[in-house]
Amino acid sequence: MFRLAHLSDIHLGPLPELSLRELASKRVTGYVNWHRNRRRSMFGDTLTDLVLDMKHQRPDHIAVTGDLVNLATKKETVAARIWLEQLGVPHDVSLVPGNHDAYVPGALKRSFHEWHDYLIGDNPLAAIGNSFPYLRVRGKIAIFGVSTAEASAPFFATGSFRRGQALALAKLLESCRSTGHFRVVLIHHPPISGAASWHKRLIGKQFFSKVIRDVGAELVLHGHTHLDTLYWLEGPGHRKVPVVGVPSASQSPGSEKPAARYNLFEIDGEPGNWSLTQRERGMREGHEGVDWLRERRLVDDGRAVKAKAVA
């Protein structure tokens, strides 16, 4: 059995001191938003406690679906690299960037430089030019990383998934379908219509849906919404592909968004007879520490069987 942990939307804090030059951009709106909304609910021991608990579960691999930083300043991206190194070695941690990691023009290039080894596949030659998608194979599991991160206008948090990346992803997915691997796709923005508000949506989600419909996948993981969600995309032969979102790993209890949690996916079986169980651990109002919250077995007929909350 392979155990895959998934966390997202780290939003490392606190914010560093910003220069006037750094504030003379979209960052000024993010700076105000941090101090008005996120500073109190997303800075403290929450992230540290969650990661310590996750490591105690001893997952075989960790998937991080973006937004390591807030305003993508140089100090933030360096701090995020240090955090990644503490999380695990690049072989054991797969990362895709989020919109906050590409907050202003040029930020994504800096993020890629600092976090390079976590953002590339097993073939280093394929990483030339910050290229996505990437492919990592770990035993029976094939992990595909795609990027939707791009700098957007003030008050927008959109991402994009374009035709070229879709074609490349389809080829990689098809190659691993023929070898019988369990295929997991990592993406920051949810590739589902209506999953995010219009100003935070994924542009080009139809390309992603077509790739899944044509060549399939066994699991899609995303972040961005700070919500615990389960959607389904149509795969080949009308089989359903689960699309799972997770709350922010830094969200403390007591706010309007769900408190911090991570998912543990237990993957077993063989092609045509895979077993996939999602187990959620996290924080909740009125309880100390990290607890089991829910478990459910995800199957390909569009239903979640054996879904139960853990008291």
pLDDT tens, residue order, the chain (311 aa): 999 999 999 998 755 555 545 544 555 454 445 445 554 555 568 999 999 999 999 999 999 999 999 888 888 899 999 999 999 999 999 999 999 999 888 899 999 999 999 999 998 666 555 579 999 999 999 999 999 999 888 888 899 999 999 999 999 999 999 999 999 999 999 999 999 999 999 999 999 999 999 999 999 999 999 999 999 999 999 899 999 999 999 999 988 899 999 999 999 999 888 999 999 999 988 788 899 999 999 975 444 444 444 44
d(CA 226, CA 229): 9
Half-sphere exposure of 99 (CA within 13 A, CB side): 25
| Residue 93: predicted pLDDT | 98
CATH of 2-309, one of 3.40.50.720, 3.30.465.10, 3.90.550.10, 3.60.21.10: 3.60.21.10
CA 280, chain centre distance (Å) = 15
| Residue 193: predicted pLDDT | 95
Sign of the alpha-carbon torsion through 212, 273, 8, 309? positive
The strand pairing partners of 230, in sequence order, are 244
In 3D space, the residue among 282, 250, 237 whose CA is nearest the CA of residue 264 turns out to be 282
| Helix H or strand E encompassing 298 | strand 291-298
| Residue 310: predicted pLDDT | 46
| Residue 86: predicted pLDDT | 96
| Residue 238: predicted pLDDT | 87
In 3D space, the residue among 236, 141, 154, 231 whose CA is nearest the CA of residue 189 turns out to be 231
d(CA 152, CA 159): 8
Residue by residue, DSSP assigns 190-218 as: --STTSS-GGGPEETHHHHHHHHHHH--S
| Residue 131: predicted pLDDT | 76
d(CA 255, CA 203): 29
